[in-house]
Amino acid sequence: MPEQQTLEKPSLATDIGRAAGIICSNGFPTGDRAKLRRVVPGQPLPLAFIRFALTHLPENWQSQTDDWAALLAGIAIMAPHAHRPGRGMGGALAEAGYSEARLERLLNADGETRRTLLLRAVRFLAAKAAPFDWHDAAQLLLTRDDAKRDRSNQRIARDFFSNLKSKSSAA
């Protein structure tokens, strides 16, 4: 009897890691990367986003177009060194000197404000050359379930404060 193969749906971590790898690769068109960098929440999306989304994003991306656009814009802003698996976004923000007040605004925001604040945080990290695991940002924007969203926010905050504590004890 032949073995049954199970086709698992790719995880969000896999999807976002693949997207980051493509956008940060030398083979990705620099013009498309520049167009993605200029994405502004609430504004019309460039064709470069639609082309990328149709080819590389999961099937249900259209239900959260604005969130995916913000994620790809953030990755493009930080390219070519955007994604560092295992390094939490909260820890990267703490190590880079991001303020607790700004983190609190980001975690408490919704919709377009959340996307805008995430892109500001990403620009801050890009200026400090501080890549992180984009799975955290993807969960921050794409999670709709309130309980899961709270857990995601708490994980980012815990990572932030753990790194603040170790940063201050090292000083």
Output b/e per residue, 97-129; b: 16+ Cβ within 10 A: ebeeeebeebbeeeeeebbbbbbebbebbbeee
Res 169: pLDDT? 58
Class of domain 12-170: mainly alpha
Q: What tens digit of pLDDT does each residue of 109-155 get?
A: 999 999 999 999 999 999 999 999 999 999 999 999 999 999 999 99
**Token pair for residue 116?**
């805008």
Rounded to an integer, what distance in angstroms lies between the CA atom of residue 40 and that of residue 37? 9
User: Model's pTM, two decimal places?
Assistant: 0.90
**Token pair for residue 142?**
């794409």
Q: What tens digit of pLDDT does each residue of 3-60 get?
A: 444 445 579 999 999 999 999 999 999 999 999 999 999 999 999 999 999 999 999 9
Residue 143 DSSP code: -
Helix (H, G, I), strand (E, B), or coil: what is residue 154? helix
* Residues near 68 by beta carbon (within 8 Å), at least 6 away in sequence: 53, 57, 61, 142
Helix (H, G, I), strand (E, B), or coil: what is residue 98? coil
